[in-house]
């Protein structure tokens, strides 16, 4: 989905930086590409480049936990059970506003297995997003490892479900929605600044 969105933004005439973990996908044409291997590397890349972006879309499904002490060699079998100590990875989307200081339009994804709208709305508030694009990953033929997807757009004041579509088709609908949101947000900020100038 992230790769389709990157291509759709380029098609709409925008410069795009795609930060991606390892995949077998072809990088879309005319996209600046920054490959990373780990959640920590992705956080560092986002922290380094986020400040120059007008819109940030976080579509990657980054692991929430990582091994506390990664093994340098193969772990040999011993006994019937194995206990792994895990530690939380840095919350990339949750860090965008604070501490990274991003002031542009912030869009996140929520892959859920239950209570789709409720969990997406909670994430919207918790991560200080302008929009969450939510999808139910339990639906057959949609989401991960599928060419189709079915999503719900969760804004602060409304929810708009979109019908099932290919990820290619859906990406263009999402880009239109994101650009409309960005323009609305910019207009609101300009109006507030204008009002403040008048008060001064």
Q: For 56-97, what is each residue's pLDDT tens digit? A: 999 998 989 999 998 889 988 888 898 889 999 999 999 999
Mean of per-residue pLDDT scores for the chain: 94
pLDDT at 148 over 80: yes
Instruction: For residue 173, give both structure tokens.
Output: 């609908």
Q: Identify the residue with better confidence: 191 or 199.
A: 191
pLDDT at 145: 80
By C-alpha distance, which of 91, 101, 89 is closest to 38?
Answer: 89
pLDDT at 195 over 90: no
CA distances from 9 to 6, 30, 136, 150 (A): 5, 10, 24, 19
pLDDT at 108 over 90: yes
Q: What is the secondary structure of 75-139 as a DSSP string?
A: ----SS-----EEEPP-HHHHTTTTT---SEEEEEEEESS-HHHHHHHHHHHTT-SEEEEEETTS
Name the one residue in this structure whose structure tokens are 């990582």: 66
Length of the chain: 200
pLDDT at 142: 84
Confidence of residue 197 (pLDDT cuts 50, 70, 90): low
List the chain domain ranges.
2-59+91-194
Name the one residue in this structure whose structure tokens are 């969990």: 119
pLDDT at 21: 96
Exposed, middle or buried: residue 56 (CB in 10 Å: 0-12, 13-18, 19+)? buried
Instruction: For residue 200, give both structure tokens.
Output: 């001064």
> Could you tell me the fold of the domain covering 2-59+91-194?
Rossmann fold (3.40.50)
pLDDT at 111 over 80: yes
Residues 91, 66: contact at Cβ < 8 Å?
Answer: no
């Amino acid at each position: 989905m992230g790769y389709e969105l990157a291509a759709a933004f380029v098609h709409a005439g925008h410069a795009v930086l795609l930060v991606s973990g390892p995949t077998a996908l072809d990088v879309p044409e005319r996209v600046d590409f920054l490959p990373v291997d780990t959640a920590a590397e992705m956080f560092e890349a986002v922290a380094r480049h986020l400040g120059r972006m007008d819109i940030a879309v976080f579509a990657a499904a980054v692991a929430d936990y990582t091994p506390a002490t990664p093994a340098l060699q193969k772990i040999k079998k011993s006994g019937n059970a194995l206990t792994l100590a895990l530690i939380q990875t840095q919350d990339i989307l949750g860090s965008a506003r604070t501490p990274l200081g991003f002031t542009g339009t912030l869009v996140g994804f929520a892959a859920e297995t239950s209570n789709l709208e409720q969990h997406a709305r909670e994430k919207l508030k918790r991560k200080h997003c302008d929009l969450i694009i939510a999808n139910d990953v339990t639906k057959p033929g949609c989401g991960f490892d599928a060419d189709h997807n079915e999503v719900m757009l969760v804004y602060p004041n409304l929810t708009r479900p979109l019908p099932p579509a290919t990820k290619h088709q859906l990406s263009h609908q999402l880009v239109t929605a994101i650009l409309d949101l960005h323009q609305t947000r910019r207009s609101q900020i300009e109006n507030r600044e204008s009002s403040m100038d008048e008060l001064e």
